[in-house]
Chains A and B, each alone.
Chain A
Amino acid sequence: MNPLFDYTLHLADSSLIMGHRLSEWTGHGPTIELDIALSNIALDLIGQSRNFYQYAAALKQNETEDTLAYLRDAREFKNLLIAETSNGDWAKTITKLFLFSTYQYYLYQQLIVSEDKQLSAISEKSLKEVTYHIRWSSDWVIRLGDGTEESNLRMKKAIENTWPLTGEMFEPAAYENLLLGNRIGVDVSNLKNDWLKKIQSVFDEATLPVPGNNIWMQRGGKEGIHSEGLGYLLAEMQFLQRAYPGCEW
Protein backbone atom coordinates (compact mmCIF):
# COMPACT_ATOMS: atom_id res chain seq x y z
CA MET A 1 0.00 0.00 0.00
CA ASN A 2 1.24 3.45 -0.95
CA PRO A 3 -0.82 6.03 0.96
CA LEU A 4 0.48 9.00 -1.03
CA PHE A 5 -0.55 7.31 -4.29
CA ASP A 6 -4.00 6.44 -2.89
CA TYR A 7 -4.47 9.90 -1.46
CA THR A 8 -3.50 11.59 -4.73
CA LEU A 9 -5.91 9.31 -6.58
CA HIS A 10 -8.68 10.17 -4.14
CA LEU A 11 -8.17 13.89 -4.84
CA ALA A 12 -7.98 13.26 -8.59
CA ASP A 13 -11.02 11.00 -8.67
CA SER A 14 -13.28 13.44 -6.79
CA SER A 15 -12.40 16.25 -9.21
CA LEU A 16 -12.67 14.10 -12.33
CA ILE A 17 -15.98 12.49 -11.44
CA MET A 18 -17.53 15.78 -10.31
CA GLY A 19 -16.24 17.44 -13.49
CA HIS A 20 -17.45 14.69 -15.75
CA ARG A 21 -20.87 14.61 -14.11
CA LEU A 22 -21.26 18.38 -14.45
CA SER A 23 -20.23 18.19 -18.10
CA GLU A 24 -23.47 16.30 -18.74
CA TRP A 25 -25.07 19.75 -18.62
CA THR A 26 -23.06 20.89 -21.63
CA GLY A 27 -25.58 21.55 -24.37
CA HIS A 28 -28.48 21.19 -21.91
CA GLY A 29 -28.13 24.21 -19.63
CA PRO A 30 -31.28 26.30 -19.01
CA THR A 31 -29.68 29.28 -20.76
CA ILE A 32 -26.49 29.58 -22.76
CA GLU A 33 -24.70 31.53 -20.00
CA LEU A 34 -25.43 28.79 -17.45
CA ASP A 35 -24.48 26.10 -19.93
CA ILE A 36 -21.13 27.84 -20.40
CA ALA A 37 -20.71 28.39 -16.66
CA LEU A 38 -21.10 24.70 -15.81
CA SER A 39 -18.96 23.64 -18.75
CA ASN A 40 -16.21 25.98 -17.55
CA ILE A 41 -16.44 24.72 -13.98
CA ALA A 42 -16.33 21.12 -15.28
CA LEU A 43 -13.24 22.02 -17.30
CA ASP A 44 -11.49 23.49 -14.26
CA LEU A 45 -12.23 20.33 -12.27
CA ILE A 46 -11.06 17.97 -15.00
CA GLY A 47 -7.91 20.08 -15.37
CA GLN A 48 -7.26 19.82 -11.63
CA SER A 49 -7.74 16.06 -11.81
CA ARG A 50 -5.18 15.83 -14.64
CA ASN A 51 -2.59 17.52 -12.45
CA PHE A 52 -3.28 15.01 -9.67
CA TYR A 53 -3.30 12.01 -12.06
CA GLN A 54 0.00 13.07 -13.62
CA TYR A 55 1.51 13.23 -10.16
CA ALA A 56 -0.01 9.87 -9.15
CA ALA A 57 1.32 8.28 -12.35
CA ALA A 58 4.80 9.56 -11.52
CA LEU A 59 4.58 7.77 -8.17
CA LYS A 60 3.94 4.37 -9.72
CA GLN A 61 5.52 2.38 -12.50
CA ASN A 62 3.55 1.52 -15.63
CA GLU A 63 0.78 4.03 -14.99
CA THR A 64 -0.08 7.15 -16.96
CA GLU A 65 -2.73 9.80 -16.36
CA ASP A 66 -4.81 8.01 -18.99
CA THR A 67 -4.57 4.50 -17.55
CA LEU A 68 -5.56 5.88 -14.16
CA ALA A 69 -8.58 7.76 -15.48
CA TYR A 70 -9.76 5.35 -18.14
CA LEU A 71 -8.72 1.84 -17.17
CA ARG A 72 -9.77 1.46 -13.56
CA ASP A 73 -13.13 0.04 -12.60
CA ALA A 74 -15.64 1.53 -10.16
CA ARG A 75 -14.33 -0.38 -7.15
CA GLU A 76 -10.91 1.26 -7.60
CA PHE A 77 -12.27 4.82 -7.72
CA LYS A 78 -11.87 6.73 -4.46
CA ASN A 79 -14.03 9.75 -5.22
CA LEU A 80 -16.51 11.23 -2.77
CA LEU A 81 -20.08 10.06 -3.31
CA ILE A 82 -21.28 13.62 -3.79
CA ALA A 83 -19.17 13.77 -6.97
CA GLU A 84 -20.96 10.86 -8.63
CA THR A 85 -24.53 11.58 -7.59
CA SER A 86 -26.82 12.37 -10.52
CA ASN A 87 -27.28 16.00 -11.54
CA GLY A 88 -31.02 15.89 -10.87
CA ASP A 89 -32.74 19.22 -11.44
CA TRP A 90 -31.03 22.61 -11.44
CA ALA A 91 -31.51 22.92 -7.67
CA LYS A 92 -29.72 19.64 -6.99
CA THR A 93 -26.81 20.48 -9.30
CA ILE A 94 -26.39 23.86 -7.61
CA THR A 95 -26.66 22.39 -4.12
CA LYS A 96 -24.12 19.62 -4.61
CA LEU A 97 -21.72 21.97 -6.39
CA PHE A 98 -21.93 24.49 -3.55
CA LEU A 99 -21.42 21.84 -0.83
CA PHE A 100 -18.53 20.26 -2.75
CA SER A 101 -16.79 23.51 -3.76
CA THR A 102 -16.90 24.79 -0.18
CA TYR A 103 -15.30 21.51 0.96
CA GLN A 104 -12.64 21.78 -1.75
CA TYR A 105 -11.94 25.37 -0.75
CA TYR A 106 -11.05 24.53 2.86
CA LEU A 107 -9.25 21.35 1.84
CA TYR A 108 -6.96 23.09 -0.66
CA GLN A 109 -6.38 25.95 1.72
CA GLN A 110 -4.88 23.43 4.16
CA LEU A 111 -3.14 21.34 1.52
CA ILE A 112 -1.15 24.37 0.34
CA VAL A 113 1.02 24.01 3.45
CA SER A 114 1.59 20.29 2.81
CA GLU A 115 5.17 19.07 3.05
CA ASP A 116 4.57 17.49 -0.36
CA LYS A 117 5.59 20.18 -2.87
CA GLN A 118 3.50 18.90 -5.75
CA LEU A 119 0.26 18.50 -3.77
CA SER A 120 0.88 21.98 -2.43
CA ALA A 121 1.42 23.43 -5.92
CA ILE A 122 -1.71 21.80 -7.37
CA SER A 123 -3.76 23.07 -4.42
CA GLU A 124 -2.46 26.60 -4.80
CA LYS A 125 -3.46 26.56 -8.44
CA SER A 126 -6.87 24.95 -7.83
CA LEU A 127 -7.85 27.20 -4.94
CA LYS A 128 -8.10 30.23 -7.20
CA GLU A 129 -10.55 28.40 -9.43
CA VAL A 130 -12.59 26.89 -6.60
CA THR A 131 -13.05 30.33 -5.03
CA TYR A 132 -14.87 31.33 -8.21
CA HIS A 133 -16.98 28.14 -8.14
CA ILE A 134 -18.18 28.83 -4.59
CA ARG A 135 -19.09 32.36 -5.47
CA TRP A 136 -21.08 31.35 -8.52
CA SER A 137 -22.89 28.44 -6.84
CA SER A 138 -23.68 30.35 -3.62
CA ASP A 139 -25.25 33.15 -5.68
CA TRP A 140 -27.54 30.53 -7.13
CA VAL A 141 -28.30 28.93 -3.75
CA ILE A 142 -29.47 32.35 -2.55
CA ARG A 143 -31.41 33.12 -5.71
CA LEU A 144 -33.29 29.82 -5.63
CA GLY A 145 -33.72 29.53 -1.86
CA ASP A 146 -34.97 33.10 -1.54
CA GLY A 147 -36.83 32.92 -4.85
CA THR A 148 -40.26 31.53 -5.54
CA GLU A 149 -42.20 28.99 -3.49
CA GLU A 150 -41.35 26.36 -6.09
CA SER A 151 -37.61 27.11 -6.20
CA ASN A 152 -37.44 27.17 -2.40
CA LEU A 153 -39.19 23.80 -2.24
CA ARG A 154 -36.82 22.29 -4.80
CA MET A 155 -33.82 23.55 -2.88
CA LYS A 156 -35.11 21.99 0.34
CA LYS A 157 -35.54 18.70 -1.48
CA ALA A 158 -32.07 18.99 -3.00
CA ILE A 159 -30.51 19.62 0.42
CA GLU A 160 -32.37 16.64 1.84
CA ASN A 161 -31.00 14.45 -0.98
CA THR A 162 -27.40 15.61 -0.94
CA TRP A 163 -26.75 16.25 2.75
CA PRO A 164 -26.27 12.53 3.59
CA LEU A 165 -23.38 12.51 1.08
CA THR A 166 -21.41 15.15 2.98
CA GLY A 167 -20.53 13.10 6.06
CA GLU A 168 -17.66 11.17 4.49
CA MET A 169 -15.92 14.41 3.49
CA PHE A 170 -14.88 14.82 7.12
CA GLU A 171 -14.17 11.18 7.98
CA PRO A 172 -10.58 10.28 7.10
CA ALA A 173 -9.93 7.10 5.12
CA ALA A 174 -7.02 4.84 6.14
CA TYR A 175 -4.64 6.41 3.60
CA GLU A 176 -5.49 9.90 4.85
CA ASN A 177 -4.65 8.97 8.43
CA LEU A 178 -1.33 7.49 7.34
CA LEU A 179 -0.26 10.79 5.82
CA LEU A 180 -1.01 12.95 8.83
CA GLY A 181 2.18 12.14 10.73
CA ASN A 182 4.52 13.49 8.07
CA ARG A 183 2.34 16.54 7.39
CA ILE A 184 1.54 15.59 3.81
CA GLY A 185 -2.23 15.25 4.07
CA VAL A 186 -4.97 17.25 5.72
CA ASP A 187 -6.93 16.24 8.79
CA VAL A 188 -10.35 16.46 7.17
CA SER A 189 -12.19 16.19 10.48
CA ASN A 190 -10.84 19.68 11.23
CA LEU A 191 -12.45 21.19 8.15
CA LYS A 192 -16.01 20.61 9.23
CA ASN A 193 -16.48 23.70 11.41
CA ASP A 194 -15.33 26.14 8.75
CA TRP A 195 -17.32 24.31 6.11
CA LEU A 196 -20.49 24.37 8.20
CA LYS A 197 -20.06 28.04 9.06
CA LYS A 198 -19.88 28.97 5.38
CA ILE A 199 -22.86 26.77 4.47
CA GLN A 200 -24.84 28.25 7.37
CA SER A 201 -24.18 31.85 6.30
CA VAL A 202 -25.25 31.21 2.70
CA PHE A 203 -28.27 29.10 3.68
CA ASP A 204 -29.34 31.81 6.14
CA GLU A 205 -29.31 34.39 3.38
CA ALA A 206 -31.16 31.94 1.15
CA THR A 207 -33.78 31.31 3.87
CA LEU A 208 -32.94 27.61 3.80
CA PRO A 209 -32.58 25.37 6.84
CA VAL A 210 -29.29 23.61 7.63
CA PRO A 211 -30.01 19.96 8.48
CA GLY A 212 -29.33 18.89 12.06
CA ASN A 213 -26.66 16.56 13.42
CA ASN A 214 -28.87 13.50 13.51
CA ILE A 215 -29.00 12.90 9.75
CA TRP A 216 -27.85 9.43 8.68
CA MET A 217 -24.75 9.65 6.53
CA GLN A 218 -23.87 7.52 3.51
CA ARG A 219 -20.18 6.61 3.38
CA GLY A 220 -17.76 4.45 1.41
CA GLY A 221 -16.81 6.47 -1.66
CA LYS A 222 -13.25 7.10 -0.47
CA GLU A 223 -12.74 3.37 -0.02
CA GLY A 224 -14.24 2.39 -3.37
CA ILE A 225 -17.79 1.54 -2.32
CA HIS A 226 -19.98 3.45 -4.76
CA SER A 227 -23.53 3.92 -5.92
CA GLU A 228 -24.83 2.26 -9.04
CA GLY A 229 -24.60 5.59 -10.86
CA LEU A 230 -20.79 5.55 -11.00
CA GLY A 231 -20.82 2.42 -13.18
CA TYR A 232 -22.94 4.14 -15.81
CA LEU A 233 -20.79 7.25 -15.66
CA LEU A 234 -17.61 5.22 -16.20
CA ALA A 235 -19.22 3.24 -19.00
CA GLU A 236 -19.66 6.45 -20.91
CA MET A 237 -16.44 8.17 -19.88
CA GLN A 238 -14.22 5.16 -20.52
CA PHE A 239 -15.91 3.88 -23.67
CA LEU A 240 -13.31 5.13 -26.12
CA GLN A 241 -10.31 3.68 -24.29
CA ARG A 242 -12.08 0.38 -23.73
CA ALA A 243 -13.20 0.06 -27.36
CA TYR A 244 -9.99 1.40 -28.92
CA PRO A 245 -7.20 0.66 -26.42
CA GLY A 246 -4.33 3.16 -26.50
CA CYS A 247 -6.24 5.61 -28.68
CA GLU A 248 -4.82 9.15 -28.54
CA TRP A 249 -6.06 12.54 -29.71
Chain B
Amino acid sequence: MQKCSFCKELTQDVNGNSMKTITNHIETKEIWELLQSVFDPEIPVLSVVDLGVVRDIVVQDNAVEVIITPTYSGCPAMDMISMNIKMELLSHGYRNVKITQMLSPAWTTDWMSENGKRKLKEYGIAPPIGKSFEKKYLEQLKVECPHCGSTNTKLISEFGSTSCKALFQCDDCREPFDYFKCH
Protein backbone atom coordinates (compact mmCIF):
# COMPACT_ATOMS: atom_id res chain seq x y z
CA MET B 1 0.00 0.00 0.00
CA GLN B 2 1.34 3.35 -0.98
CA LYS B 3 0.94 6.42 1.15
CA CYS B 4 1.16 10.02 0.12
CA SER B 5 4.49 11.45 1.27
CA PHE B 6 2.81 14.71 2.13
CA CYS B 7 -0.38 13.97 4.02
CA LYS B 8 0.16 10.23 4.72
CA GLU B 9 -3.20 9.28 3.36
CA LEU B 10 -3.49 6.10 1.33
CA THR B 11 -3.18 6.69 -2.37
CA GLN B 12 -3.58 3.02 -3.37
CA ASP B 13 -5.90 0.35 -2.15
CA VAL B 14 -4.77 -3.09 -0.91
CA ASN B 15 -4.53 -4.45 -4.45
CA GLY B 16 -2.26 -1.68 -5.60
CA ASN B 17 -4.95 0.07 -7.61
CA SER B 18 -5.05 3.82 -7.51
CA MET B 19 -7.87 5.01 -5.36
CA LYS B 20 -10.70 6.91 -6.94
CA THR B 21 -9.85 10.19 -5.33
CA ILE B 22 -6.31 10.19 -6.67
CA THR B 23 -6.69 13.19 -9.00
CA ASN B 24 -8.42 15.07 -6.29
CA HIS B 25 -5.67 14.06 -3.90
CA ILE B 26 -2.88 15.30 -6.12
CA GLU B 27 -4.64 18.58 -6.63
CA THR B 28 -5.13 19.10 -2.90
CA LYS B 29 -1.43 18.42 -2.38
CA GLU B 30 -0.51 20.95 -5.05
CA ILE B 31 -2.63 23.59 -3.36
CA TRP B 32 -1.01 22.93 0.03
CA GLU B 33 2.34 23.45 -1.66
CA LEU B 34 1.22 26.67 -3.31
CA LEU B 35 0.05 28.01 0.03
CA GLN B 36 3.59 27.57 1.39
CA SER B 37 4.38 30.75 -0.49
CA VAL B 38 1.52 32.83 0.92
CA PHE B 39 2.96 34.72 3.87
CA ASP B 40 1.58 36.44 6.92
CA PRO B 41 1.76 40.15 6.01
CA GLU B 42 2.89 41.07 9.53
CA ILE B 43 5.48 38.29 9.86
CA PRO B 44 6.68 37.81 6.29
CA VAL B 45 8.80 34.73 7.03
CA LEU B 46 5.84 32.63 8.14
CA SER B 47 3.59 31.04 5.54
CA VAL B 48 -0.09 30.58 6.27
CA VAL B 49 0.65 26.83 6.45
CA ASP B 50 3.47 27.31 9.00
CA LEU B 51 1.15 29.51 11.06
CA GLY B 52 -1.51 26.81 11.14
CA VAL B 53 -4.34 29.01 9.86
CA VAL B 54 -5.11 26.76 6.88
CA ARG B 55 -7.26 23.98 8.33
CA ASP B 56 -8.40 22.13 5.25
CA ILE B 57 -8.57 22.18 1.48
CA VAL B 58 -11.52 20.71 -0.34
CA VAL B 59 -11.44 20.18 -4.09
CA GLN B 60 -14.71 19.31 -5.74
CA ASP B 61 -15.20 19.30 -9.50
CA ASN B 62 -13.64 22.61 -10.49
CA ALA B 63 -14.12 24.40 -7.21
CA VAL B 64 -11.51 24.86 -4.50
CA GLU B 65 -12.49 25.65 -0.95
CA VAL B 66 -9.78 26.71 1.47
CA ILE B 67 -10.85 26.59 5.10
CA ILE B 68 -8.99 29.00 7.34
CA THR B 69 -9.20 29.96 10.99
CA PRO B 70 -8.25 33.36 12.43
CA THR B 71 -5.39 33.64 14.90
CA TYR B 72 -6.97 36.32 17.10
CA SER B 73 -10.58 37.53 16.60
CA GLY B 74 -9.51 41.05 15.76
CA CYS B 75 -6.36 40.30 13.80
CA PRO B 76 -6.42 42.80 10.91
CA ALA B 77 -4.11 40.59 8.84
CA MET B 78 -6.81 37.95 8.34
CA ASP B 79 -8.64 39.78 5.56
CA MET B 80 -5.39 40.24 3.72
CA ILE B 81 -4.35 36.62 4.27
CA SER B 82 -7.64 35.48 2.87
CA MET B 83 -7.26 37.73 -0.18
CA ASN B 84 -3.65 36.64 -0.75
CA ILE B 85 -4.62 32.95 -0.68
CA LYS B 86 -7.25 33.66 -3.30
CA MET B 87 -4.84 35.64 -5.48
CA GLU B 88 -2.21 32.92 -5.28
CA LEU B 89 -4.61 30.23 -6.43
CA LEU B 90 -6.18 32.37 -9.14
CA SER B 91 -2.75 33.24 -10.52
CA HIS B 92 -2.01 29.51 -10.80
CA GLY B 93 -5.01 28.85 -12.93
CA TYR B 94 -7.53 27.85 -10.30
CA ARG B 95 -10.97 29.30 -10.87
CA ASN B 96 -13.86 29.25 -8.50
CA VAL B 97 -11.86 29.67 -5.31
CA LYS B 98 -13.76 30.03 -2.08
CA ILE B 99 -12.31 30.93 1.33
CA THR B 100 -14.34 29.80 4.30
CA GLN B 101 -13.66 30.92 7.85
CA MET B 102 -13.95 28.33 10.59
CA LEU B 103 -13.81 29.39 14.25
CA SER B 104 -13.92 26.07 16.05
CA PRO B 105 -11.63 24.48 17.11
CA ALA B 106 -10.02 27.80 18.03
CA TRP B 107 -6.57 28.46 16.62
CA THR B 108 -3.65 27.68 18.89
CA THR B 109 0.10 28.15 18.57
CA ASP B 110 0.34 24.36 19.00
CA TRP B 111 -0.50 24.19 15.30
CA MET B 112 2.57 26.17 14.29
CA SER B 113 5.03 23.98 12.41
CA GLU B 114 8.54 23.32 13.77
CA ASN B 115 9.83 24.80 10.55
CA GLY B 116 7.75 27.90 11.27
CA LYS B 117 9.19 28.20 14.78
CA ARG B 118 12.71 27.97 13.39
CA LYS B 119 12.00 30.65 10.79
CA LEU B 120 10.49 32.93 13.45
CA LYS B 121 13.64 32.69 15.55
CA GLU B 122 15.89 33.42 12.58
CA TYR B 123 13.75 36.46 11.86
CA GLY B 124 14.31 37.78 15.40
CA ILE B 125 11.04 36.76 17.05
CA ALA B 126 11.19 34.28 19.92
CA PRO B 127 8.84 31.37 19.08
CA PRO B 128 6.06 30.24 21.46
CA ILE B 129 7.23 28.06 24.33
CA GLY B 130 5.33 24.99 25.50
CA LYS B 131 1.79 23.91 24.78
CA SER B 132 -1.20 26.20 25.05
CA PHE B 133 -3.02 24.08 27.67
CA GLU B 134 -0.16 24.48 30.13
CA LYS B 135 -1.16 28.13 30.51
CA LYS B 136 2.11 29.39 31.90
CA TYR B 137 2.27 33.05 32.74
CA LEU B 138 4.63 35.18 30.75
CA GLU B 139 6.67 36.19 33.80
CA GLN B 140 7.45 32.55 34.58
CA LEU B 141 8.78 31.76 31.13
CA LYS B 142 12.42 31.38 30.28
CA VAL B 143 12.30 32.99 26.88
CA GLU B 144 15.47 32.64 24.85
CA CYS B 145 16.77 35.82 23.25
CA PRO B 146 16.62 35.30 19.46
CA HIS B 147 19.71 37.50 19.04
CA CYS B 148 22.27 36.08 21.49
CA GLY B 149 20.58 32.94 22.80
CA SER B 150 20.66 34.00 26.47
CA THR B 151 17.70 33.11 28.71
CA ASN B 152 18.51 36.02 30.99
CA THR B 153 15.51 37.94 29.63
CA LYS B 154 12.56 39.79 31.10
CA LEU B 155 9.02 40.70 30.17
CA ILE B 156 8.56 44.37 29.23
CA SER B 157 4.95 44.32 28.10
CA GLU B 158 2.26 41.63 27.88
CA PHE B 159 1.08 43.22 24.65
CA GLY B 160 3.26 43.95 21.65
CA SER B 161 3.16 45.31 18.14
CA THR B 162 0.52 42.77 17.05
CA SER B 163 -2.09 40.75 18.96
CA CYS B 164 0.05 37.62 18.87
CA LYS B 165 3.19 39.06 20.45
CA ALA B 166 4.56 40.27 23.80
CA LEU B 167 7.62 42.44 24.30
CA PHE B 168 10.74 41.14 26.07
CA GLN B 169 14.22 42.42 26.67
CA CYS B 170 17.50 40.54 26.95
CA ASP B 171 19.53 41.43 30.05
CA ASP B 172 22.74 40.18 28.45
CA CYS B 173 22.83 41.74 24.97
CA ARG B 174 20.31 44.43 26.07
CA GLU B 175 18.28 44.06 22.87
CA PRO B 176 14.50 44.24 23.08
CA PHE B 177 12.66 41.54 21.12
CA ASP B 178 9.21 40.21 20.32
CA TYR B 179 7.97 36.93 21.77
CA PHE B 180 5.23 35.09 19.88
CA LYS B 181 2.78 34.32 22.70
CA CYS B 182 1.69 30.79 23.41
CA HIS B 183 -2.05 30.87 22.73
Please tell me if A79 contacts chain B, counting CB pairs below 8 Å.
no
Classify chain A: how many residues form its interface, as a range.
Answer: 20 to 34
* Chain B residue nearest in CB terms to A31: B157
Q: Could you tell me which residues of chain A, from 82 to 103, have a CB within 8 Å of some CB in chain B?
A: none
Please tell me if A237 contacts chain B, counting CB pairs below 8 Å.
no
Whether the pair A33, B156 counts as a contact (CB closer than 8 A) is yes
Q: Could you tell me which residues of chain A, from 34 to 52, have a CB within 8 Å of some CB in chain B?
A: 36-37, 39-48, 50-51
* Interface locus among A67-75, A123-131, A202-210: A123-131
Least CB distance from B38 to A in Å reads 21
Q: Which of A19, A48, A50, A128 has the most CB of B within 10 A?
A: A128
* Chain A residue nearest in CB terms to B161: A36
Residues in chain B near residue A50, CB distance under 8 A: 73-74
Complex: how many Å from CA A126 to CA B183? 12
Complex: how many Å from CA A33 to CA B159? 7
Interface string of B48-89 (1 = CB under 8 A from A): 000000000000000000000010111110000000000000
**Given A36-B159, A37-B159, A136-B158, A44 and B72 contact (CB-CB distance below 8 Å):** yes
Please tell me if B90 contacts chain A, counting CB pairs below 8 Å.
no
Please tell me if B160 contacts chain A, counting CB pairs below 8 Å.
yes
Please tell me if B163 contacts chain A, counting CB pairs below 8 Å.
yes
Contact of A36 among B75, B107, B157 (CB under 8 A): B157
Whether the pair B158, A51 counts as a contact (CB closer than 8 A) is no
Complex: how many Å from CA A174 to CA B160? 41
Complex: how many Å from CA A46 to CA B161? 17
Whether the pair B183, A128 counts as a contact (CB closer than 8 A) is yes
Contact of A47 among B74, B167, B183 (CB under 8 A): B74
Complex: how many Å from CA A50 to CA B107? 17
* Chain A residue nearest in CB terms to B139: A139
Least CB distance from B76 to A in Å reads 7
Q: Which of A36, A37, A41, A135 has the most CB of B within 10 A?
A: A36
* Interface locus among B13-21, B98-106, B119-127, B144-152: B98-106
Q: Could you tell me which residues of chain A, from 207 to 243, have a CB within 8 Å of some CB in chain B?
A: none
Whether the pair A47, B103 counts as a contact (CB closer than 8 A) is no
Complex: how many Å from CA A43 to CA B158? 15
